[in-house]
Chains A and B, each alone.
Chain A
Amino acid sequence: MPFPLPPLPTIGQLVFTGIALFTCASALGVVLARNLFHGALALVATLFGVAALYVMLEAEFLAVSQVLIYVGAISTLIAFAIMLTRSMMYGKTSPLNRQAGKTGLFAVLIFLALFGFVQSIPWPASAAPVLANESMIAALGEQFVTNYVIAFEVLGLLLLVALVGAVMLARDN
């Protein structure tokens, strides 16, 4: 055979490629959309794509919390914010501004840096077997209230601050 054929991709790789392309395309849509609402919709699509990638990594709880919090709550807030302001709702923004060149440069640099990191770091592989099914979620829940209890309570405090801050924000309006 004149050309050595590359090995056929597995189904998993095919699905991953599809999801990755979808995520990247919608991420591009977020920055390039001229209409802000379309940008918000593209953001939702991106977040869905990332959730699908989490599923591929067998982190289903993470995936579903991503959808619940980011798609269900944060994106709705963003859409609200867009719709609440008249100029944002009708204004067609240009994806480019004066800083486009510099930002592009930095984006490329950051990509190169990340790429270098990913290549060079020896990723630690856990020796312990991955917990199957529900016990993984149970283990996560147990960690919240035992080893990471301080972080967990601080998170509760942060949410409390957010509740108080929400009132302050609405007061100003």
Chain B
Amino acid sequence: MQGSTWSDGIVGLLTGLGLPEMLALGIAYGIGAFILVNFGMISALLLIWITRKAISRMQDRLGPNRLGPYGLFQTVADAAKLISKEIITPSQSDFLAYNLAPVLSVFGALMLLAVVPFAPGLIGVDLNIGVLFVVALGSIGVMAALMAGWGSNNKYALLAGFRVVAQLLSYEIPMVLSILTVVLLTGTMSFGRIVEAQSLTIGGLNLGIGWFGVMMPAAMLIFFISSLAEAELTPFDLLEAESELIAGFHIEYSGMKFAMFFLAQFVNAWILSALMAILFLGGWQGPGVGLPVIGPILGFGYFFVKAYAVYVLQQWVRGTFPRVRIDQMMYFAWKVLVPAIVGLIVAQAIAQKLPFPDPVIYAIIFVANIAAIWLVATMLQRYIKGESLRTKRSFEPTSLIGTMQEAKEYAMY
């Protein structure tokens, strides 16, 4: 039984005051849960600011810069505005599905925080099945999208709801399987122990840089790509394609109900980047986390730096890439990512059973990962080549079809 250490202090304090242990534990958990949930809600404000700043810098704009230093209070003002706006309920919406959807989508995002290890010993609960808990909570988001799409009685919303579900389901498989590579390596599904396994002890000193991402870059990349899709960010944002679907499944929501979807989306994106930091970038591991007092504080800092760095990376991709088509989205998930990650898992499973010392096995896994990246890159290159040729052909006057040279100058497109 690995007790989460953060609650022990509060419980000790309360039992010292004469409260029964059960009640003390309940109060401690209540405080912890309240802090976590509010952390999620408030960090969304910061995340929105980071997103807007990052994207606008990429597009050569300034972004919010009026309210507070660097426009930091812009999102606070936006939240205040959203809270005072009229909540419009479309006339033919379904009461149950329409109103439950925003609540559930926030619920699904916030509950993920329960298993995120922030620092050594600082984790809501270190569940034995933590990894699967995260994946299972994702299904609440799927249900919420379906409910919103169906409940608001709008053609666009319903269409977007379908697309969301198709995309989330398709990318859940590569994501789950890329997490499986980590579980295969560590033999544990608890986030606490996965992070602990990423230490690198040399001469009795924990350097904390045994990150799995170094050894398994392909798995990390696949996790990152699928997390982009799960967070509905730009290369995969065809669910809210403004030119086709107006806004996505939350088109009929306004005021606070819309804000809930917005919040859930940002919290989700952040937690997915935090998960990548935990699974592949060592979480709170880093040089000096083994030190007695300063270690946990350093770890806390490392974790947040990594999580926000991955988040900014997500926004970078979002600001750079064009949107994919729905058939490309499907192609990429089922014909590129799933075969690549299944091959990786089989290769890793065989490598781990080879009668070699550990460093050799790790080297083999690394080589397999590089091979997987190379394979994916070649497949994509071939696909893009074919696609650009096809596009070119379709814009050509019919009389000229067939006279065109075999894509020598495809790089132009």
Contact A76 B169 (CB under 8 A): yes
Do B135 and A68 have beta carbons less than 8 Å apart? Answer: yes
Among A11, A37, A68, A137, contact of B97 (Cβ-Cβ < 8 Å): A37
Q: Are B142 and A72 neighbours in the complex by a CB distance under 8 Å?
A: yes
CB-based contact B136/A76 at 8 Å: no
Q: With A41-B147, A137-B129 in contact, do A64 and B158 touch (Cβ < 8 Å)?
A: no
User: Which positions 75-112 of chain A face chain B at CB distance < 8 Å?
Assistant: 75-76, 79-80, 83
Contact call A64/B132, Cβ cutoff below 8 A:
yes
Given contact pairs A41-B147, A76-B165, A60 touches B139 in the complex (Cβ within 8 A): no
Interface presence of A61 (CB below 8 A)? yes
Q: Which residues of A contact B147 (CB under 8 A)?
A: 41
Q: Any chain B CB within 8 A of the CB of A44?
A: yes
| Inter-chain contacts of B162 with A (CB < 8 A) | 80, 83
- Smallest beta-carbon distance A62→chain B, Å: 10
- Is residue B17 contacting chain A, with contact meaning CB distance below 8 A? no
Prevailing SS type, chain B contact patch: helix
Q: Does B112 contact A (CB under 8 A)?
A: no
The residue in B94, B129, B147, B162 that gathers the most chain A C-beta atoms within 10 A of its C-beta is B129
B136–A134 CB distance below 8 A:
no
Which B residues are CB-close (under 8 A) to A64?
Answer: 129, 132-133, 136
Q: Which residues of B contact A168 (CB under 8 A)?
A: none
Q: Counting CB contacts under 8 A, is A14 at the interface? A: no
Is B128 in contact with A133, judged by CB distance below 8 angstroms? yes
Give the residues in chain B near A134, CB-CB below 8 Å. Answer: 128, 188-190
Per the bound structure, the CA–CA distance linking A116 and B97 in Å amounts to 39
Q: Is the CB–CB distance between B128 and A71 below 8 Å?
A: no
In chain B, residues 1-24, which have Cβ atoms closer than 8 Å to a Cβ of chain A? 1-2, 22
Complex interface bits, B123-135 against A, C-beta within 8 A gives 1, otherwise 0: 0000111001101
B165 in contact with A37 (CB, 8 Å): no
Cβ of B188: which chain A residues have Cβ within 8 Å of it? 134
Q: Which residues does chain A contribute within 8 Å of B132, judged by CB atoms?
A: 61, 64-65, 68
| Complex interface residues of chain A between 116 and 137 (CB less than 8 A to chain B) | 132-134, 137
**Restricting to B354-388, which residues have a CB under 8 Å from any CB of A?**
none
- B150 pairs with A60, CB closer than 8 A: no
Cβ contacts under 8 Å, A137 to chain B: 128-129, 189
Q: B143 an interface residue at 8 Å Cβ cutoff?
A: yes
Q: Is B55 an interface residue (CB 8 A)?
A: no
Contact of A61 among B129, B138, B172 (CB under 8 A): B129
Known: A41-B100, A60-B127, A71-B139. 10 other contacts (CB 8 A): A41-B96, A41-B147, A60-B128, A60-B129, A65-B132, A72-B136, A76-B143, A76-B146, A80-B165, A138-B187
- B residues near A (Cβ < 8 Å) are 1-2, 22, 94, 96-97, 100, 127-129, 132-133, 135-136, 138-140, 142-143, 146-147, 150, 158, 162, 165, 169, 172, 187-190
What residues of chain A have their CB less than 8 Å away from a CB belonging to chain B? 11, 35, 37-38, 41, 44, 60-61, 64-65, 67-68, 71-73, 75-76, 79-80, 83, 132-134, 137-138
